[in-house]
Amino acid sequence: MAKKYNVNEIVVAVQNRRSGSFPIQDLLECKLNGIKVSDAASFFEREVCQIRVDSLQPSWLVFGGGFDQGVLRAGIKRSFDLFASIILLIATFPIMLITALCVVIEDGMPILYRQERVGKDGRPFMVMKFRSMRNNAEKEGKPQWAAENDPRTTKVGRIIRKLRIDELPQILNVLRGEMSFVGPRPERPFFVKQLCEEIPYYNVRHSIKPGITGWAQVRYQYGASVEDAIQKLQYDLYYVKNNSLFLDIIILIDTVQVVLFGKGGR
């Protein structure tokens, strides 16, 4: 049949490959005849640049390629983060000063919003942002997902969130080694606990430092639900598996396009 219809590739999306009905002999024959045979996880990784959780086998994570966190790679990335954070702190100081004044004029103090997030290896740290929501935005005490058009956002907050100026204080987090410029976005402990219980492999994203921007941020829209978290995780897993300086550069360029021209995700 494969020869008859001139098939170039067969994608195997069967979960239970140990059953007697798995066509191992047929697939081997196809491969010997020059037809590419791929598993679903590798196919989605190649075609849409994400690792689909619903087609993932634990053995694929363990025995497949990627997921290498070498010392040299980490050292080069840390050197870049240090150099870039110093340059950006100087270059963006006027923008941060104007932003601070606008926040105070509209809604008073505080200027910065500090919030606990989960970092590398599950270690908590305090992330810093310009305050974009009104005071007592979570007066009920229960953490809430931040939506794209959140009614709790101030007028200044809507502007600085759209341009991602609210993230600029996180350059200090990068300087201190708690974050990197590129990596999975850090989440709050409350949501991490919930998502780890509901989404398989969610903790894998904590194997590297979180970032100010990431693959999920430039490939997916603003998310505020468990379903959105699953989609973002699939991009985060792709980044963790394939992270490199080249991919970081692509993400940084895409981030500039998102901020300036509204292209891509948010």
Do 96 and 214 reside in the same domain of the chain?
yes
Cα–Cα distance for residue pair 59/37, rounded to 1 Å: 18
Residue 63 lies inside a defined structural domain of this protein: no
Domain span at 25: 9-48
Q: What is the pLDDT of residues 76-126, one digit of tens each?
A: 999 999 999 999 999 999 999 999 999 999 999 999 999 999 999 999 999
Residue 179 within a domain = yes
81 and 196 share a domain?
Answer: yes
Whether residue 258 has pLDDT greater than 90: no
For the chain, give the DSSP string.
Answer: -TTTTT--EEEE--S-TTSTT--HHHHHHHHHTT-EEEEHHHHHHHHHSS--GGG--HHHHHHSS-----HHHHHHHHHHHHHHHHHHHHHTHHHHHHHHHHHHHHH-S-SEEEEEEE-GGG-EEEEEEE--B-TTTTTTSS--PPPTT-TTB-HHHHHHHHTTGGGTTHHHHHHTTS-EEESPPP--HHHHHHHHHHSTTGGGGGGS--EEE-HHHHHS----SHHHHHHHHHHHHHHHHH--HHHHHHHHHHHHHHHHH--S--
Residue 18 in this model has a pLDDT that exceeds 70: no
* 31 and 147 share one domain: no
Are residues 124 and 31 part of one domain? no
- pLDDT of 266 higher than 60: no
Same domain, 150 and 27: no
120 and 44 both lie in a single domain: no
Total domains, the chain: 2
Is 234 among the domain residues? yes
Is residue 33 situated within a structural domain? Answer: yes
Q: Do 27 and 151 fall into the same domain?
A: no
Contact (Cβ atoms closer than 8 angstroms) between residue 157 and residue 166? yes
How far is 55 from 234, CA to CA, in rounded Å? 11
Please tell me whether residues 125 and 255 are part of one structural domain.
yes
What pLDDT, on a 0 to 100 scale, did the predictor assign at position 19?
59
pLDDT at 223: 72
Range with lowest mean pLDDT among 81-85, 110-114, 244-248, 262-266? 262-266
Q: What is the pTM of this model?
A: 0.85
Entry field: residues in the chain: 266
Q: How far apart (Å, rounded) are the C-alpha atoms in residues 248 and 237?
A: 14
User: For residue 135, what pLDDT band results from cuts at 50, 70 and 90?
Assistant: confident
Considering the domain architecture, whether residues 136 and 256 belong to the same structural domain is answered as: yes
Q: Is residue 59 part of a domain?
A: no
Nearest Cα residue to 173 out of 105, 79, 82: 82
- If one compares 56 and 185, the residue with the highest pLDDT of the two is 185
Judgement on whether residues 41 and 119 belong to the same structural domain of the protein: no
Within this chain, do residues 237 and 109 fall inside the same structural domain, yes or no?
A: yes
CA distance 99 to 94: 9
Q: Considering the domain boundaries, does residue 124 fall inside one?
A: yes
Which has the higher per-residue pLDDT, 258 or 53?
53
Are residues 26 and 93 both part of a single domain?
A: no
Give pLDDT, residue 141.
61
In which band, very low, low, confident or very high, does the pLDDT at 185 lie, cut at 50, 70 and 90? very high
Q: What is the mean pLDDT of the chain?
A: 87
Task: Give the least confident one: 66-70, 240-244, 247-251.
Answer: 66-70
Is the confidence at residue 265, as pLDDT, over 60? no
Q: Encode pLDDT of 39-72 as tens digits.
A: 888 888 999 999 998 878 777 787 777 777 778 8
Q: Is residue 2 part of a domain?
A: no
Residue 58 lies in a domain: no
